[in-house]
Structure 1
Amino acid sequence: MRLRQQLALLALAGLLTPGLTLYSLRIFNEQAKASHLNQLTGIAQAVAARLGNDIELLTRSALADSPQRPAGKTLYSHTDNSNHSSTTTPSTPSPITVDGSAADWHQLAIPPLPLPSETALTAQYRSLTSGERTYLLIEVDDKQRHFHNAEAPHHDKQPLYRTDNQALASGDHLLLYAGAQDQHLHILRAEVPGQMTALYRNALGKVVTQEAIQGLWRETNTGYQVELSLPTNMTQTAMALAAVDQSPTNPQRSAGTLPPYALSAAGPDPGVLPPAVGQMIRPAQSLNSALEVFTRPNTRLSLIDKHHWQRGQAGELADTHASPSITQRLLGSIMKMPRRPTFETASGHWNHPDISYPNREPRAFWARDQDALIATVAVPLISSHLPALESRHLGSVIIEQRVQPWQLLDQDSIKRLLASSLLGGGLLLLLLLGYASFLSARIAKLSRAANQAKGQNLPESLSHWPQFTIQDEIAELSQHYYEVLTQLQDHNHYLRTLTGKLSHELRTPLAVVTGSLDNLQQSEGEDVHKYTHRAQAGSERLSFIISAMTEASRVEASIASAELVTVNLQQLISDISQAYSSAYPAQRFMVDIQPASTGTYEVKVAPELLVQMLDKLVDNAVGFARDNTPVTLGLNYQSTEQDGVILALSVCNQGPHLPNNMQGRLFQSLTSHRPRSGGDTPHLGLGLYIVELITRFHGGTATATDLPDGVKVCVTIPALYPELNAQRRTTSVDNTC
């Protein structure tokens, strides 16, 4: 196993402990959340059972009789929970001051609700019921305001009852359908910003001023706002509201819950109009008090009727906990938070799919409010004491609780989980220390062996060289060191025997020269020429030995100054084979070029170096070739995924195979295994080393392999021309000679 794989397994083991801890925490969290929802479901069912059995409470709050109300015809009013009495007293001040300002409404956190509109007029309202008074704040977006014309003939401010048939409002105004016993369509108008007047026509068509309705008009940056106060009993039976934009030039626009025909009430007497359909829904104080008994910290109880209108509420979802600690924040960050956001119920209408009517089974889910969790449970409110079966389902009881993620986790469970995590981390640390010690011991063993190799002879060091059973990078490094030391041992052996070889090679020509010179001194006539020729042959042999020893240095110098030119290798191989036939008349040469294509083999090389490399290869092949066998010069091009298209020059001979101890060492300096051939030409093992130098200069590689009946030396050179690269996908590799 490779070191990378070993380290990957250890890293995986290192990630296993925190991963399992995180997974366990989330499992505990899911179980804790499910248990918490079950607990809240039990509380909500107990509240629903308590309220469903209180017939008097259901009747007093009118929850048992909750008719279907048309969409867009219902207004909602919040209640003042601070005032638990049914009537206001001088000692209980109203939370709203009718001054046309929205400051009181902002302090009470009552959000605005839109008024339905089929025109371009935009308006919204807020409503609050406090004891015997109901307050309204209507905000209208209207850049062009038009007030009632105070100079109109019908506005004489004389008697209470007026019989004129002129318009009651010539400018922007409000329409309010309300009444204690008899409902009337009231027109609220203003001549200037400030106090507003409420008027209506009675059954006789008389114009009556409604003193019980008080209103104040105030200008805003985007339009105007009107704050109203009227008796609560006027809103019990029926209630509808509309804002009307009326100008002398533009068409009339409106927004509200009144039907279109009611808008004509502000003009001349339209006669008897049908009664408007509308209702104001408000929470019942009796239901609020009944829910208050079951409230808990950070918990809100709500009761909605079967039309989803909120009829009672108690408790708050305010987060009263202190700032969380770092551990609590960390636990909260790793807990899986729900994506569902909390839903706003300030409008009084719970339009939510999980608590929609008819919902006869409990529904429980989690929502998210910033960094906190909101547990929500809705159970049906059913009263078995009602006679009609279809009317027994009165609505739903909803319980919401705000909790922090870390509050759901059991402290004992967390302690056990942390203990198991620490144990797993300790075991993992021991595993890492053991692996590091094991790895260090193997490296130290290899280091000691390399250090001993410096002070001992190589055969003894190689005999005790460490062997590793695990095949990884350390084992490869040990094997590479072993191979390097083996080659160094062979090279040292060659160097030690080189003196004997040179002594043997130099002694013969020196003896020839010395003897020839001695005989020359004592000879006359024809013997002089014979001895002179023998002395010349000896000196030439000495010169050859010296040249062979310095040839590698000259080749390196030639490589440094060589220039690349374009050469047709096919033509070069054909021409040079004829030259070799002349140089080696006793040897037969063959040329094998596959495929033969003019122009295909044109590349940039150094011709002198390339010919010198071929000379060495051919000389080597001729020296080992058996009698009456050819030496084959081959040329082909091959396609590889790594190097692209390469040209392959090969020299093959039929003769003995390569010795096993020379595999991978033939192209090293001073390496030779050629026997002496007649004793005329010495071989110092530099020929194939020169081949290696020239091949590396051209960016290629040199290899020697055994053939079934001989040896093949192959030199590859990268192709430089695009026409070869275009054929790399279609040409097969030809490795035959």
Structure 2
Amino acid sequence: MQFRFSIRVQLAVLSLFLFTIPWLGYKYVWEVEQYLRIGQEQTMIGTARAVATALHERPALFDSQAAFLQNVRPGTDLYAPTIDAPIQLDGKLNDWQSVRELSQTYTDSQIVTQFASKGTAVTLSYDHMVGRHGDYLYAMFEVNDNSVVWRSPDSLSVDNGDHLLISLKPRAGDLERYIIAPYASGWVNAFRLNDNPNSYRATGNALAIQGRWQETPKGYNIELRFPLTMTSGSLAFALVDVDDTTQRIKQYAMGTADPARLEGMGTVVTPSPEIERILSGIRYADSRVWVVDKHKRVLARAGDIRSAPGYRPPPSPASELPLWQWIESHWLLPLYYHILTRPPADFVDELQDAYALAGLDITTALGGHPDSLWRLSPDNKAVILSAAYPIFIDGQVMGAVVVEQTTHGIRSLRNRALEKLFHVILAVMLLGTAALFLFAHRISSRIRTLRDNTEAVIDDHGKIVGQLPQSRQRDEIGDLSRAFGGVLNRLQQYNSYLEAMAARLSHELRTPVAIVRSSLDALPHVPNDQQPELIERAQQGINRLSRILNSMSEATRLEQTLALEDPEVFELRRVVEGCAGGYQQAYPNRTFALAIAQGEYQLTGSAELLAQLLDKIVTNAAEFSNINDTISIDLRRQGRQIRLSISNPGPLLPEGMGDQLLQSMVSIRKSSVSPQQSQAPHLGLGLYIANLITRFHNGNLQLENLPDGSGVRALLSFPAAG
């Protein structure tokens, strides 16, 4: 069964294009989001520039933090992260868990001094890190030692057991060395050593360095604390291993650097309180700000990335109707968020406790040029934008400011815009689809009504039995209805014409047939002297029948002649003048008035056929005029058109018959004609033949009444040749 592609189905298919509106709206909002991201990127670079401006040309913020080192030595140059609470010096190391991942492992590759022969087996290793809380620097050591040797209680030497060496360089002064060598597990303080780097003689207690040394199954743990003011940032730690409890010979020193030498000492970088005070106001700017040195170590930070969306869209107005809010929250928004995504309330922040940063933007900034970087959080829930700007001191890049924000604000704004846009699009789609279906229903109903009305005015035999109702609608369907009405009216007139043509033809044939029949029937019953009269009468009837048949076949012969005729250019003036002179002789009781304006009248066609055209029209004009009437022939040119007018006084044309008289076998002759005219058949073919010849010459023939009502005019127009 073939599918019927009705107008309703077509409009339903067209309505599917409405579904491209949400896609276009989404693409538009996505483009707007890209511009918002570009704006956020520029804003963050501006924020980083503003913070960096406050840090330019301030070397005091960096020199104490060893930022001027050309290279950072892992295990030697230390980083002391900020610790949230003071470390409880109990040797259990529980307070270090939040920053324990920053600790470093020291093995035989970190031996800084070899006391015994180089072939001595290394049995010591430990994990070590430092941290800062307030004005104190904390240090922890988790030591693995197969043999813990305590300092002998009855010996004055402080280095005859396992011990810890500490070297510090104050802001003003030379190297200061300290030693911690306990008798057993418990609270410890340091001793200060003399200035001789090769001597281990204690000169006094250093109570500022305090902590706990706690023995463990694997070795021992050490937790220390001393004020930050004791060092300018240079320090070294070294654990000295003693395994022999008898001879107490030192085997080696393993640590961050050689504590006996000032050169090569390590540095410690702690978050700068001064820089943090400068950044303290940034926490209100919806950003997280980092300050790093040129080795990408964190000097200070402020703010929280989870509370730094960058842009906070305004809250929704509370004036909406409760019913609409219920529909939006229970129906629409759950539907929308099958496509949209809400910014996550929580995500993984891999840089929360970072002590060093890495990234192309930071590398570019440390090269002297600001840059930005987009990245995803490790759980792919958040998009984070970071912007870095260099810090200059004496024309050299000493560090960088890094500003971070999430795109939660932009995503929330995008979602808010898409929600409003989807509301409008959904309403437009629903109303548009409903309007299209109503429109399609109305159109199809009107077309079906037109179809039913058209079928109703034509009976089963194809006869037109009524008139099509006139439509008052001024659209295409109304025009189609009126066109159907006009077509049906013309078909009805044509049927009437065919019926009248049959009656006229029957009437024209009946008279000569009756004459022939009556003459032949009376011929046997009359005397011989009267028979020639009857035979002549029958001959006249036969001649009349012959003229009728010749007239009927004349139009067909003319159509064949027109198909074979080769057009040529001729002068219409000569044809009209020659014909007008002959008409005066053919119709001596009529007067012909010829008027020809000056000009050329070149015409493409056939002069003989045009003369035949004039004969048909002039004959018709003479038959419908009275004796001594004047028939006017007027020839003139208007632009590219040649106009020929033939007018005669006489009866006017009935209304609406001008075009019908140009059809075949249409005549409006009255019975009151002269006896000579009554003997000739009148089948209405003369003007039909004249119209055929006119169309062959690409012309137009019109019949109309004269403006003064005195007669009729035949108006011909032809395109001029060339």
Q: In which range does the TM-score fall when normalised by the shorter chain?
A: 0.3 to 0.5
* Greater C-alpha radius of gyration: 2
